[in-house]
Amino acid sequence: MNLQLSPSPTEMEQAFYRKDASYDGVFFVAVRTTGIFCRPSCPSRPKPENIEFFTTIRDAVFAGYRPCKRCHPTEVYGALPDWVMSLMQRLEATPNAKITSAELRSLGITPERVRRWFREHYGMTFAEWCRGRRLADAFTRIREGAELDDVVFANGYESHSGFREAFSKTFGVSPGQSQNEDYIATQILETPLGALLVGAVSQGICLIEYTDRRMLEHNYAEICKRFGYPVLPVTNNQIEHLRDELSEYFTGTLTKFTVPLVVHGTAFQERVWSELQRIPYGKTISYDEQAHQIGQPTAVRAVARANGMNRINILIPCHRVIGKDGQLTGYGGGLWRKRLLLELERTGKFPGNEASE
């Protein structure tokens, strides 16, 4: 199949003049008369004879263009905000610290902004996120045989009753009954494609989602419902395994993941997702082919919907499914991510999109 990784000039021009944000990151628009380059969704409207197109930030910069201050094209690939990184590093250094609203303001961050960001990206407020980290540490230490007194006070609780109440509310059982319980550990991992929210139970990975995707909140709620476990903002062995493998994948040195997956969906969804995992690294198929391969050739639309409901991106490679005509279509993380993933798998190198070296 003839795979079209880059849109045609006509398609790029049409996308730019209709301000189609789904093309952000797929290509960049440079304006000769101003010397700047933009996202396709930028509100500016230069004349067609004054523009040219680039598929990477690097190419635009090396051609002498500077990034637009209106649409900030160099930020299209996403990253954790500096203030979020600062808070997380602060808590890594002192895990049991309680950061008050007054302390946040002293750091130049409003509590409202913190609450909103953590709710949008973790499904919980910052206070709940901090409490979840403390309780996850307590859960682990109890299962490892630590004395309850040590666990209670090491995690910042002033009394046994307060600790027991918080623990039971989160895990649904008392500390002494937690030996056979589990939880969903969650972390945000930085990647060349932007931040990923990943989730894992003790048996394997159950969530890999782009933090800017509209389906994030739905998928987050879905794993909570399907597993019936509390979600806690900590890491575990499966997430650290995934972290290592993703790092190797994005450098082109890993072509097959070994971290186990825990997939909970409908019977049909699981058949579709299982077929996705059979697509070899560096190869693509169409939705029609995928439907034939699961034995339901007329279920092309249902297959496409099931692909869209995939909650474990990259490892269940729905990015390897393209249109019948070879065009890139239908990726919840954005077409720009799909293009970069396929280019990585085609060449063994992640496409250079840095603004400078």
Could you tell me which residues are annotated as the binding site for Zn(2+)? Answer: 38, 42, 68, 71
Residue numbers in the known binding site are 38, 42, 68, 71
Contacts 24+ apart (CB under 8 A), 279-282: 279/317, 279/320, 279/321, 281/255, 281/256, 281/345, 282/255, 282/345, 282/346
Rounded CA separation 261/191 (Å): 20
Identify which of 208, 209, 195 has the alpha carbon closest to the alpha carbon of residue 242. Answer: 208
Distance CA 141, CA 145 (A): 6
List 38, 130, 206, 224, catalytic entry: 38
CB atoms within 10 A of CB 65: 23
3-state DSSP assignment of residue 6:
coil
Residue 80 phi, psi (nearest 5): -65, 135
Which position among 130, 206, 224, 318 bears the catalytic label? 318
d(CA 251, CA 259): 17
38 among known catalytic residues: yes
Q: How far apart are CA 355 and CA 47, in angstroms?
A: 25
d(CA 331, CA 215): 11
The dihedrals phi and psi of 27, each to the nearest 5 degrees, come to -150, 170
The backbone torsions φ and ψ at residue 198, rounded to the nearest 5 degrees and listed phi first, read: -115, 145
The CA distance from 324 to 251, in Å, is 29
For residues 170 and 326, what is the distance between their CA atoms, to the nearest angstrom? 48
Report residue 152 as tokens. 């209670």
Quick one: which of 239, 214, 228 has its CA closest to 309? 214
Residue 130 falls in the annotated catalytic set: no
Q: How far apart are CA 16 and CA 10, in angstroms?
A: 10
Which amino acid is residue 316, in one-letter code? I
The residue among 348, 342, 319, 341 whose CA lies nearest residue 253 is 348
Give the catalytic positions in this structure.
38, 318
